[in-house]
Amino acid sequence: MNEFLEQALNKLTENVSGQKEGAMAPSVREALGDFCRQDAEFAQAVAQGGSFKECMAVVAKGVENSISDLEAYRKAVQFYFKGADIRFHMVIDLCPAAEGEMAAPPSAQKKILDLSDFL
């Protein structure tokens, strides 16, 4: 594990205050941790950037009753790395039990949706 990844992951363990921040923090923390593991430059930005508490305050700012997970993650990523964006896709496996069977090739069993098409 590189030094920035370890520092970034440690930073993300910080407690947050506020009802909205507290409600969103676990999933945002998990997503940011995954992003840090995927990209060393992002891990460095988190390690050298503001606190997780400050990040969550920015994410919660302007939120009335709800915010999509995607938008919360986007705001968090941009807190640490200005101008960055995220992409999200989901895969549905219609026949997970048929993976080993000859029913259909694996690619025919899965559908990929780009949620940004719905925004």
The answer, yes or no, to whether residue 7 has pLDDT greater than 70, is yes
What confidence category does residue 82 fall into, taking pLDDT thresholds of 50, 70 and 90? very high
Tokens representing 84 are: 């960055």
pLDDT confidence band for 110 (50 / 70 / 90): low
pLDDT digits (tens, 9 = 90+) for 42-63: 999 999 999 999 999 999 999 9
| pLDDT class of 106 with cuts at 50, 70, 90 | low
Query: ∠ CA 30-89-35 to the nearest 5 degrees?
Result: 30
3-state secondary structure of 110: strand
Q: Provide CB contacts within 8 A for 73, sequence distance 6+.
A: 28, 31, 32, 86, 88
Q: In a 10 Å sphere around its CB, with 0-12 CB exposed, 13-18 middle and 19+ buried, how is residue 61 labelled?
A: exposed
